[in-house]
């Protein structure tokens, strides 16, 4: 076992920045309003499982179906782009049936692609090249615990910030998410044509 506190902290901070669960609070609150309830445990566990599976099988899985990491990231950038448009313009692009929406919303778009999205999955592949696997898994698990805490307390956070504060944060983070999606697209589209 090669546990290294420095590697765990670095991997945790990188994943925390990419997942940006604090920045996703307005989306979480919005999803909760749309579907009534979000299953925090389920969303956190599914996101964690997706990230750990992708850490081990990501590269192989993508090459098996003939997709490179860059194509995967470009596709994910479109999803993030549309979620950002919803936040900025106050429109609804993502629609679902009324039946089982709380369960569905906990998985899509919350667990994937918001938490375990193309950004975090491609980051995991990059971290794997630099760090020991057990340190990355520990960093993922620490992030999952933090994600769970934020999901559980999102209604309290909403009460503290208030409806106007939520709207302002929603628009600001919508623009940030839009910028992240554009950057993800631009970085990976170049790699596709080289």
Binned average pLDDT, 10 residues per bin, the chain of 194 residues: 92 88 81 84 95 92 86 81 83 58 77 85 84 95 96 86 80 83 85 80
User: Which residue pairs from 64-70 have beta carbons closer than 8 angstroms and sit at least 24 positions apart in sequence?
Assistant: 68/192, 69/122, 69/125, 69/188, 70/188, 70/189, 70/191, 70/192
SS3 95: coil
DSSP class of residue 117 equals -
Distances (CA, A) of 27 to 102, 142, 154, 189: 14, 21, 10, 26
pTM of the model: 0.75
The pLDDT of residue 11: 92
pLDDT given for residue 168 in this prediction: 84
d(CA 92, CA 77): 18
Integer Cα distance of 83 and 93 in angstroms: 8
11, 131 contact by CB (below 8 A):
yes
**Residue recorded with tokens 């900025």:** 88
Q: How many helices (H) and strands (E) does the chain have?
A: 7, 0
pLDDT the model gives residue 95: 56
Q: How far apart are the first and last CA of the chain?
A: 39
């Amino acid at each position: 076992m090669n546990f290294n506190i420095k590697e765990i902290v670095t991997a945790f901070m990188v994943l925390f920045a990419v997942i940006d669960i604090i920045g996703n609070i307005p989306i979480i609150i919005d999803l909760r309003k749309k579907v009534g309830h979000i299953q925090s445990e389920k969303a956190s566990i599914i996101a964690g499982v997706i990230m750990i599976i992708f850490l081990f099988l990501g590269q192989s899985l993508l090459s098996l179906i003939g997709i490179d990491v860059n194509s995967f990231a470009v596709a994910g950038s479109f999803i993030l782009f549309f979620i950002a448009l919803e936040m900025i313009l106050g429109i609804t692009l993502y629609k679902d049936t009324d039946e089982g929406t709380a369960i569905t919303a906990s998985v899509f778009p919350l667990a994937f692609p918001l938490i375990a999205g193309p950004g975090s999955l491609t980051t995991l592949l990059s971290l794997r090249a630099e760090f020991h696997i057990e340190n990355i898994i520990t960093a993922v698990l620490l992030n999952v615990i933090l994600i769970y805490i934020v999901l559980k307390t999102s209604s309290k956070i909403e009460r503290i910030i208030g409806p106007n504060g939520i709207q302002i944060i929603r628009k600001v983070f919508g623009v940030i998410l839009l910028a992240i999606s554009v950057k993800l697209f631009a970085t990976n589209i170049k790699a596709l044509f080289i």
